[in-house]
Amino acid sequence: MKTDTGVSSNQRSRARTMRRAPTDTELRLWRLLRDRRLSGFKFRRQVPVGPYIVDVLCVGAKLIVEADGFQHAESPRDKARDAYLESEGWKVLRFWNNEVLRNREGVLETIFAHANRPSSGATRHLLPEGEGVLNGAFPRGEEVRQTAPPGPLLPRGEGGAPKARRMRATPGEF
């Protein structure tokens, strides 16, 4: 599925490179959200959206999640970036790196709460008809939203995955 129509091959290549070399925080956030671990929401990482590459996004919820270090504090570039993304109908959530590392459950609860809210912005999808309509997942105009998570957000270890399916971790990482 192509969601980066109009994005230069240079930017697409840069996003691919960023996926191969994530920061520790991005990797930990991704482990929590990958494989529809958060109540079935599908997230993608390091995706070009317009002129920007976002850390993690959920197309179905029109939600972008960014993990930021201190270099992003009060950044005018980030404010302009957020304004652009919001004008395109995306909700942008920013978390400090230490929040992602020390308060995973709180971060997941916040993401879950925003993923369940209908977008207040434009309804323009990256795909002309929206993912679900094109692949027949649900009829046109019908949305699937859960009102509460099916259980704890972090069952059976981080992200709910059994140890055998988790990505490799270095000793002391968790």
pLDDT of residue 10: 86
The pTM of the full predicted model, rounded to 2 decimals, is: 0.67
CA–CA separation, 29 and 23 (whole Å): 10
Strands 91-96 and 63-68: parallel
Domains of the chain from N-terminus onward: 9-134 (3.40.960.10)
pLDDT in tens, 9-49: 888 888 998 889 999 999 999 999 999 999 999 999 999 99
Beta strands in the chain (DSSP E): 44-49, 52-58, 63-68, 91-96
> 3-state class of 93 per DSSP?
strand
Placement of tokens 């960023």 in the chain: 18
The pLDDT score that the predictor gives to residue 143 is: 46
